[in-house]
Amino acid sequence: MADYDDERPDWRELDRRKDRSGFYGRQEKGEKGAKKEGPKNRWQSGRVKNALDRIFLGDKGTPEHDKLYNRLHGAYGSGTFLKHVNTYIKKYGLPDDAPTLLLILDTKDEGIVTEAIEKLKAAYGSLQARQREDVRRKLSILAVVDRSQEIRRQAGEALEELGQ
């Protein structure tokens, strides 16, 4: 029992160890060995990541693109929808995302619908399961109901290619 008491530090030694540890005083003073700064504000780092992503998008990463894109979505179902689609396509080409392409299928402009069907077929493999189902449903509706015989034919062929 005496060996144990000899190895145990006294209160003065414990206080000295606490003062020497990096846990207390060094963090505020910024001395050598202080704890490194934690990650930056997550909100700010998210904004930086979004800004970098927009740079790589090129013209489609600009605020002007976002305005046209939002106008296109806002005009869906109105008489100005085709005008907004034409403005968007003239400036940026067909959109890359499937939900917007599905909206564009409702323009009833044969040239635009044909291009949108081709773009949907190309992107079909990378879509999520829910989006694939939406594409198949929309194409099946077009294949049966559309006024243009060319669009009905192309939608039917697209369904066959996609495995419907």
Domain ranges of the chain: 44-93, 96-164
Structure confidence by residue, pLDDT tens digits, 6-27: 677 788 888 887 777 555 555 5
pLDDT of residue 124: 92
> What's the distance, CA 157 to chain centroid?
30
Q: Which residue has tokens 């206080």?
A: 15
pLDDT of residue 154: 94
- Residue 98 CB neighbour total at 10 angstroms: 21
pLDDT for residue 34 is more than 60: no
* CB-based contact 157:163 (threshold 8 Å): no
Longest dimension (CA), the chain: 101
Compute the distance between CA of residue 34 and CA of residue 162 in angstroms, rounded to an integer. 60
**Phi and psi torsions of 104, nearest 5°:** -65, -25
Cβ contacts of 97 within 8 Å, gap of 6 or more: none
139 by Cβ neighbours in 10 Å (0-12 / 13-18 / 19+) ranks as buried
pTM: 0.66
pLDDT more than 70, % of the chain:
83
152 by Cβ neighbours in 10 Å (0-12 / 13-18 / 19+) ranks as middle
pLDDT for residue 54 is more than 80: no
